[in-house]
Structure 1
Amino acid sequence: MELTVYGPLRAATGDKTVDVTVNGETAGDVIDAFVAAYPRAAAQLEDSEGRLRPSVRILVDGDQAAVEDHLPPDPTVALFPAMRGG
């Protein structure tokens, strides 16, 4: 699956768009596959207990998705990490 990443996640991937192999059908499965492929990204996405940070945004076909949301066939997925500052 093709995944577009933003912000500091690009430092972990070296690219704006990456391919990940997703074994599952939810937005959370996409996050799991992404972190497995790019472990350096975990700090941007997960808290110290491995839970998705509340400020992380997952967009599926342009709409915000929750981790438990099922993916449609051939989705366009974008991932926005937790952002700090103000």
Structure 2
Amino acid sequence: MEVTVYGPLRSATGDKQVRVAFEGRTVHEALEALVEAYPRAEQYLYRHDGTLASSVRISIAGERVDLDDPCPADAEVTVHPAVQGG
């Protein structure tokens, strides 16, 4: 899958767009594949209790999706990481 990342998440992936090996299933599994490929991404996506940070936004082909939604192997995924501060 092709993943576009924004903000501080780029420091974890090293680039704005990266390819991640993914067989396709759910958005949750797609994020797991991203973190497996780029372990430093986890800190920008998840809280300390392992749940997805509430401000993380994920879209497939421009449409916002939830963790349980399907995600094909050839998806174009966009991830906006959690925003800190106020």
TM score, norm. by length of structure 1 = 0.91
Higher strand share: 2
Change (3 A) 1:25 1:61: same
In structure 1, what is the Cα distance between the partners aligned to 2:23 and 2:72? 14
Partner AA of 1:44 in structure 2? Y
Residues 38 and 73 of structure 1: CA distance in aligned 2, closer, same or farther (over 3 Å): closer
Residue 76 (structure 1) shift: 1.6
Q: Which residue of structure 2 aligns with residue 38 of structure 1? A: 38
**TM-superposition CA deviations, 1:57-77 (whole Å, max 9, x none):** 001111110000002563221
Residue 70 of structure 2 aligns with which residue?
A: 70
- Divergent runs of 4+, >6 A: none
Residues 54-63 or 69-78, more deviating: 69-78
Deviation at 1:41, TM superposition (A): 1.0
CA–CA separation in structure 2 for the residues paired with 1:41 and 1:60:
18
Partner of 2:60: 60
**1:84 Cα deviation (Å)?**
1.3
Larger RCO, structures 1/2 (Cα 8 Å, 6+ apart): 2
Instruction: Specify the code of the residue in structure 1 equivalent to 2:58.
Output: I
Once the 2 structures are TM-superposed, how far is the Cα of residue 23 of structure 1 from its aligned partner?
3.6
Percent identity, please: 48
CA distance in 2, matches of 1:50, 1:12: 18
TM-score by length of 2: 0.91
Structure 1, unmatched stretches of 5+, are: none
Q: Does structure 2 conserve the Cα–Cα contact (< 8 Å) formed by 1:23 and 1:29?
A: no
